[in-house]
Amino acid sequence: MSFDLSVISHKNIILAVTGGIAAYKSAILVRRLKDAGFNVRVVMTQGAQAFITPLTFQALSGNPVHTELLDPEAEAGMGHIELARWADLLLVAPASCDTLAKFAAGLADDLLSTLYLATNAPVWIAPAMNQQMWAAKATQRNLATLIEDGVHVIIPDAGSQACGDVGLGRMPEPEDLARQVTEYFHKAQRAIAEKFGMLAGKQVTITAGPTREAIDPVRYISNHSTGKMGFALAAACYAAGANVTLIAGPVSLDTPNGVQRKNVSSAVQMLNESMQMLKQGCDIFIATAAVADYRVAQVAEHKIKKAGDELNVALIKNPDIVATIAEQEKRPFMVGFAAETRNIEEYAAGKLVAKKLDMIACNDVSRADIGFASDENAMTVFFAEHYHLDKRDLDKASKQEIAQQLVEAIHDALHHDPAAEDDF
């Protein structure tokens, strides 16, 4: 599963490191958070600096490390209040017993405890300590107070400890912590999209990639479609709050986060899965797949042996998936794609009508710089006549940006009421 990094890339995390041997893991944690796309600033307590140097964190985070509350130089750069405002999340890892006690008591005698009081960002703590100290009544009392105050406590792992004890108190591995933080932001983002996104609550089905039409058990007819446009659209529809099912032909792409994927091979399988999705309820159907127009009439049961100079394979027409779905009684909003080398407008308008589509996005595949295997695309979007919407030229951009603009076009058509216009 891959994450859509665009959500994460502008999120700011303050990683506060306190005094404990697990501080060495925090260095790797910075790396993992940066890998995930976060901006990271590190705050260190006095105790932490006995275990690891600020220079390590400065190099890894790419930002100055904050250690002092009353340092005029630091305050002139990014003071503690600014830092508190900058944060989208305050992550304290490792969190020592002393830090828990300070937070629970509301002390404000160093940079971290002051930050804790001054920020309105969510606070996560990953306590790490000797198992006896973890179990101590005072520690458990402080934890209960912090949980009540809304702090998210990451329960320590059990296992062997640096002090030789065995038990609860190990800081979880950096990869695990970074994953939890990433998931948190994705869930928060999703909750917003489900409420306010352009396609909030819509059921979207997208076909993508090529189809493979078997000739015999080892050979097939296919095409060069990579599925990139369909996968980018799936991610964009999900980000816009839709529930998305991607019916994918054979492609080597990761499934976008949150998207349900059904793998198929042939056009007939793709149609069957599409009909299935229609039965389950589908509001928007987007056909980006490069479906083979023909399939082999009689697939050979065994590998065809090399024989004469010529081999004739009879082909029969495949079903037109998008046109079949558009024919159904309870049809969704239908979006098709067209790849043309000339007379783009004329052919696109023809397909829009012939396949009974609501919208068609057409690209000029004669251009070498866009299309199939490229990461970029440029398109012209046409709407069915009854929408009374002008065609839209989407200038050359990444497939992600084009996908976003297509989502906007779908949203606009769905919310465009031509009847209201007629009243003027």
Within 8 A by CB and 6+ apart from 84, the residues are 115, 118, 119, 120, 121
Specify whether the CB–CB gap between 291 and 321 falls below 8 A: yes
Phi-psi region of 106 (alpha: psi -120 to 50; beta: other; left: phi over 0): left
Whether 163 is catalytic is: yes
CA distance 354 to 351: 5
Which residue bears the tokens 């929408």?
Answer: 387
Helix, strand, or coil (residue 281): coil
Give CA angle at 261 (255, 265), nearest 5°. Answer: 105
Q: What strand order describes the sheet that includes 12-17?
A: 39-44, 12-17, 89-95, 123-127, 152-153
| Helical residues (DSSP H) of 149-266, grouped into ranges | 174-196, 228-239
CB of 347 to ligand C5P, least distance (A): 8
Q: Concatenated DSSP letters for 169-186?
A: EEPPPHHHHHHHHHHHHH
Closer to ligand C5P by CB, 30 or 296: give it.
296
Q: Concatenated DSSP letters for 97-141?
A: HHHHHHHHHT--SSHHHHHHHH--S-EEEEE---HHHHHSHHHHH
CB of 387 to ligand C5P, least distance (A): 18
Closer to ligand C5P by CB, 93 or 291: give it.
291
Closer to ligand C5P by CB, 45 or 207: give it.
207
CB of 76 to ligand C5P, least distance (A): 58
How far is the CA of 354 from the CAs of 44, 188, 219, 412, in angstroms? 66, 42, 33, 23
CA distance 167 to 170: 8
CA distance 166 to 158: 7
Closer to ligand C5P by CB, 324 or 405: give it.
324
N- to C-terminal Cα distance for the chain? 50
Closer to ligand C5P by CB, 111 or 357: give it.
357
Give CA angle at 339 (334, 340), nearest 5°. Answer: 125
Binding site for ligand C5P (CB under 6 A): 207, 267, 287-289, 291, 318, 320-322, 336-338, 351
Closer to ligand C5P by CB, 50 or 354: give it.
354
Closer to ligand C5P by CB, 48 or 335: give it.
335
Which is catalytic among the residues 163, 237, 282, 362?
163
CB of 270 to ligand C5P, least distance (A): 8
CB of 210 to ligand C5P, least distance (A): 11
Which residue bears the tokens 């004669």?
Answer: 366
- Rounded to 10 degrees, what is the CA torsion of 159, 171, 98, 80? 180
Q: Which strand (E) or helix (H) includes residue 144?
A: helix 137-148
Closer to ligand C5P by CB, 32 or 295: give it.
295
Active site residues: 163
